[in-house]
Each structure stands twice: as C-alpha cells, then as structure tokens.
Amino acid sequence: MARLSSALARVGVAVTAVSLLTPVPATAATAQQAAVPAYWSPADPDGLTAFRRLAQNRPTTGIVVVNGSLSRPEAPFSRGWADAIEAVHDSGARVLVYVDTGYFGVDLGQGAHRTRGGETSADAWAAQVRQDIDEWYALYGGYGVDGVFLDQVLHVCGPDGEYAARYAAIRDHLRATQPHARLAINPGTGTEQCYDDVADTILSFEGDHASYLAHVPPEWEATHQDRKKFWHLVYGVPDAEGMSAVIARARSNRPGYVYVGDRPFSPSTWDSLPSYWDAELREIAGVADTTPPAVPRGLTATATSGQVVLRWRAALDNVAVSDYEVFQDGVPVGTTHDTAFTATGLLPDTSYAFTVRARDVAGNASAPGSPVTATTPPAAVLAPHACLGPTTARYDATFTRDFPHRRVFIDADDNPATGWPLPPGLPSGADHMIENNVLYRYTGPGWAWEPVLVVEPEQHGRVVTWRVPVTGFGEGGAPTQVVVFNGNDEQDEFSSVVTVHRTEEECS
C-alpha cells in the first residue's frame, strides 16, 4: 500500500487530546473485524477526530494501521500521532505502525524500488526496515504501539525460500526488543504458503470491487484454522449496497479481518474513512444489533469564559459505538465521535447541567449518563456600548482585568460574509478592529490586518473609551455596525454583542 501512501505528506499543527478510553474485554470480539489502513494525518484536528472515532468502534474494529506523513516514522515527535496511537490502543484495538519494505529491491518489472539513500540491494532495504521499526518504537512505543505493518512485501518464497527468510529475519529483529509485538505483512493476492510462519496477519487480498467478488482464496488459506491470519482489503466500492455485497463475499472467503473503502485506486485511497463507515461496521459484525451501548460514565466539566469543556469515558457496545449526543439543560446541543465536547456561546456567571448518551452504529441509544453541573465565570468585559454619529464613532466598555490586548471587533460594512469570524456564538465578518491604540482593517485570509490610523483610548478607572473618525471605515462604512469587545491575556474574553445604528447627532 505504499504506492498509495507515498504521496500522503501532511503538514499540520499538533493537537493535544486527553485519552479517556476504556479497553474493551477480549470476550467482546466479533468473528470478523475491521482492519483499517488509516493513512491520514492526526496532526490535523479533523484527522485526529477520525482516529478518535475509530477508538469508539470497538469491538468490531480490531486493527488500525498508522502511517507517517512520508510513509516512514513520523519524525520529529508529533503530539498528534502520539494522541492518535494512544486513543486507539487504549480502546483495545491494536495499533500497527507502517513500514515500507520496497520488495527488498527485487525488480518486479517496473524497476527496483530504492531506499531513501538511493540503494536497491536487499541488505540496504533490510537496514532501512530495521531502522524504521526502531524509530517508530523510540518515538511512539510508550503511547501504545502494538506492532508493525510491513508493506510492499514479496508474495513468492524466492529461491530456496530466500525472500520469506528475509521477512522472517525482520520479524526476529522486532521480537528481539518487542517480544509481544504483532506483525502484519502485505504480500497481496497470490501469497505463497511459506509466509504462514512469518507474520501474525497476512494481507492476502488487495484489489477492487469486481476482483474481490470473483476472488477465491488459495487452498492453504481457505483451509487454515486461524482466520485472524488473513486480511482482505477492497477499494473503489462506491456505495453501501456494493459494500454489503463485498462483506457477504468476505463471509464466504472467511478472512479474520476485512476493510472496504469507497475511493478508487489512487494516492488518496486510504486518506479517510468511507462514507458508509457505520453501515460497514454493522455488516462486518454480522449480528442483528438491538442492544444499546452502555451508559457513558465519568463525565466531567470545566467552565471557562463563555464555554464548558466536557469529557467522559468511552461507552462499550456489542458491535461499535458511533457517536455521543450531548444535552445542555435537557436540550440536545451537539454530537461528537470523540469523548470530549465543548459547549459554546454560554452566558457568564450562569450554571448549566449537562448529560451525555451514546449511540451505536445501528442507531440504538443508551440512557443519559449522570448529569454534571458547571458554572461559567463572571464576565470580564462588561457594559459594552457604541454610538455611530455623522463624523465620529464612540466605543466603550468596562475591562475588569488589566488585559495586555484590549480590542473592539467591528463589522463596519454590515456584511457578516466579509471579515474575521469570531468564535462560535459570536458574529462573523469583523472587517475592522481596534487593538489598544490602533484601528486596523481586515485584509485576510487568516489573522491579517493592516493599520488604518492611531486611536488613543481614554481610560477612567476600568472603563475604556475609543473615538474613531467614521472616515476610518472607508467608503464601505454602513449605517449599522455590529460590535464586540474583547480582552485577551491567557485566554479570550468577549462582551455581549452590540448593534448600533447611525444617528444624526454627534456622539458625546
């Protein structure tokens, strides 16, 4: 699968997450399980969320392969990769890290694969494979790496079993320092029986929808007693109906692990979960799921200005938890695949009660867990006021702390589609901003502003006032403005929203 993942370079900001997952008992395992090639970046918030979604999908998800952004160990250390590995491992699924073997440099008709040093010899490839295994464990072993997935593996034994022996030597290198590590290999369709003793799991089919529906495993696989020895991987299945047909075929082919993706063969085939992922988990489990998940437990709440961060332990299910529904004062306010949720847009100095219930991939819902109450802190930016006169605008508010940055966000063109978007629950479209003593105009994209003019604030006690010539807003200045005051130190504090209309009298 490296030929699919070699182009999957990712650049992102590491995201810190707290693992609160509870391992699933081994007795909950299903006859067949999903083994997921998760070749996306957990350094991206959406990517990490997808990994934490997989962590909820126990016991039907049994293996998750984590790949570095360049199909090699993710170095230097990335908090995002560590969090992804930890979340999936703590759920009870096995995390295998990706290592490319390049067919040990054997030319299969399209030229020999080269190591990162440009070499093609079997010894050079073996050295790189050992280095990659050791580096993965050095960087992330403490976060729950359960084993290694070797890709681009030869499927034939080689002269006198030479090829299989080289992979067995890699297995021995792994087990010398990691005696309980699992080894999976990807020789693909037509794997010869000499690989039976090399790995715990063999990816013995990788191909498209039509090929799999016609696939008949070789006799040694079909009669093998250990079904967890085999993994079938099918791509390019566009819809749930086709996926169901593939899983039905997998039941007759009897691999212990299976995975169906909706993308055709390309560099991005394994970049995301398929659109029908919940339905796929139901099909793989192969049971009539009428049992709701267990009640989520361990709910905690941390209140900060305008928001409450909720965290809880993962709920267990007989097939797979899909998501969680969060209730605020008895009203649903959102869903998440994670075991964390942030309720936003909350009033200051106000108590809120929260509960969470789990839903499984069949739509069964648990009862809500025990409620938790959180009280938001008092407002730090009070008494916001604005006036828009013929020539001058006035803005004033009370700042209860000595903020290093005191700001006024202004939608001066009365168009929420243009300008900087404030956090959820607050207006979008701030096309101007006063920060301390300068009026800025938004230039975007991102946090990009250009200075317009100096605006010296007046301060009386904790009340700060700015007076701005309306010409500072340019010709696009509208007769209505939407204004939000902001104090920023270690966190952002926002006032309530002020809407002001132009008057014929000057502001006092």
Residue 349 lies in a domain: yes
Stretch 475-498: mean pLDDT: 88
- For 284, list phi and psi in degrees, rounded to 5: -65, -40
| Residue after which a domain boundary falls, among 285, 306, 324 | 285
Same domain, 70 and 205: yes
Residue 174 lies in a domain: yes
Same domain, 164 and 203: yes
Stretch 299-313: mean pLDDT: 93
Whichever domain contains 200, its CATH number is: 3.20.20
Residue 488 burial (C-beta neighbours within 10 Å; 0-12, 13-18, 19+) = middle
pLDDT 10s digits, 96-130: 999 999 999 999 888 899 999 999 999 999 999 99
Residue 11: is its pLDDT beyond 70? Answer: no
Same domain, 250 and 333: no
Same domain, 281 and 339: no
Residue 178: is its pLDDT beyond 50? Answer: yes
Q: How far apart are CA 424 and CA 421, in angstroms?
A: 9
Q: How many domains does the chain have?
A: 3
pLDDT confidence band for 29 (50 / 70 / 90): very low
Task: Enumerate the β-bridge partners of residue 302.
Answer: 309
Residue 26: is its pLDDT beyond 70? Answer: no
Same domain, 153 and 104: yes
Same domain, 152 and 110: yes
Residue 95: is its pLDDT beyond 90? Answer: yes
**In this structure, what token pair is assigned to residue 83?**
């969090």
Q: What's the pLDDT at 84?
A: 96
Same domain, 449 and 319: no
Residue 290: is its pLDDT beyond 50? Answer: yes
Residue 507 lies in a domain: no
pLDDT 10s digits, 130-175: 999 999 999 999 999 999 999 999 999 999 999 999 999 999 999 9
| Residue after which a domain boundary falls, among 238, 253, 285 | 285
Mean pLDDT (the chain) is: 91
Q: Quick one: which H or E segment has residue 315?
A: none
Q: Kindly provide the residue ranges of all beta strands, DSSP E only, lying in 127-218, ordered along the sequence.
A: 147-151, 182-185, 201-208
pLDDT confidence band for 476 (50 / 70 / 90): low
Q: Kindly provide the residue ranges of all beta strands, DSSP E only, lying in 193-236, ordered along the sequence.
A: 201-208, 230-235
Q: Quick one: which H or E segment has residue 79?
A: helix 79-91
pLDDT confidence band for 189 (50 / 70 / 90): confident
| Strand, coil or helix: 90 | helix
Antiparallel, parallel or unpaired: β 498-501 and 480-488: antiparallel
pLDDT confidence band for 10 (50 / 70 / 90): very low
- Please give the residue that has the higher pLDDT: either 40 or 492: 40
Of the chain, the percentage scoring pLDDT greater than 90 comes to: 83
Same domain, 174 and 216: yes
Residue 469 lies in a domain: yes
pLDDT confidence band for 478 (50 / 70 / 90): confident
Q: Quick one: which H or E segment has residue 2?
A: helix 2-5
Residue 506 lies in a domain: no
Same domain, 314 and 370: yes
Same domain, 60 and 180: yes
- Please give the residue range of the domain that contains residue 365: 297-375
CB 332: neighbour CB atoms within 10 A? 11
| Residue after which a domain boundary falls, among 351, 375, 399 | 375
Whichever domain contains 349, its CATH number is: 2.60.40.10
Question: What count of residues does the chain have?
Answer: 508
Stretch 206-232: mean pLDDT: 96
Same domain, 49 and 94: yes
Residue 18: is its pLDDT beyond 60? Answer: no
Residue 40 lies in a domain: yes
Residue 508 lies in a domain: no
Same domain, 88 and 130: yes
pLDDT confidence band for 1 (50 / 70 / 90): low
Residue 291 lies in a domain: no
pLDDT 10s digits, 353-387: 999 999 999 999 999 999 999 999 888 999 999 99
* Residues contacting residue 230 through CB under 8 Å, at least 6 positions apart: 201, 202, 204, 217, 221, 224, 254, 255, 256, 257
Closest CA relative to residue 448, chosen from 419, 490, 410, 484: 419
pLDDT 10s digits, 392-403: 999 999 999 899
* Residues contacting residue 218 through CB under 8 Å, at least 6 positions apart: 190, 191, 193
Whichever domain contains 401, its CATH number is: 2.60.40
